Structure 1
Amino acid sequence: MISEFQDLSDKIDRLAQLAQSLRSENYLLRQANALLSAENVDFKHRLIAAQQRVEAMLAQLEPPAPAEQDSTPDDSEAAR
């Protein structure tokens, strides 16, 4: 009977150690998640800024001149 209590006590100790280990791991994962979330927000801001710069550059470009149309049909129409 005493050995059964000792086995139960050992299992409880292992369970307590496992619970503590999982708490520590959870804490580290939460820290990593917070850092990655902050990095993600930073990347989103940088992406928006880059998109705005590209749009501003595109707005400064002159629209292309209309292409002159040849009186000869193109190859796709000639093949018909």
Structure 2
Amino acid sequence: MISEFQLLTQKIGKLAALAQRLRSENAQLRLEVAQLRSQNQEQAQRMQQAQERVMQLIDKLPPPPPLDQPAEEECA
């Protein structure tokens, strides 16, 4: 009977240690998730800014020649 209580006590101790370790791991993972979300948001903003710059450059390009007329280089 005493050995059963000792075994139970050991199992409870292991379970408590495992629970504490899992709490610590969970806290660390929450921090990592927060950091990754922040990085993701920053990258999304950078992508949006890059897209806006590309669209501005595209708007500055001259219009293409009409399809029924040859390009100037072909005429020469």
TM over 0.5: yes
| Cα distance, 1:69 vs structure 2 | 5.5
Q: Distance in 2 between matches of 1:44 and 1:60?
A: 25
Structure 1, gaps ≥5 residues long = 71-80
Q: Distance in 2 between matches of 1:62 and 1:40?
A: 35
Equivalence map 1:49-68=2 (5 Å): 49-68=49-68
Aligned length: 70
Q: TM-score, normalised by structure 1?
A: 0.83
Q: CA RMSD in A?
A: 1.4
Equivalence map 1:1-80=2 (5 Å): 1-68=1-68
Structure 2, gaps ≥5 residues long = 71-76
| Cα distance, 1:57 vs structure 2 | 0.4
**% of aligned pairs identical?**
49
Map of 1:76 onto structure 2: none
Higher helix proportion: 2
Instruction: Give deviations 1:21-43, integer Å, cap 9, x for gaps.
Output: 00000000000000000000000
Give the secondary-structure state (helix, strand or coil) at the position aligned to 1:55: helix
Q: Distance in 2 between matches of 1:45 and 1:55?
A: 15
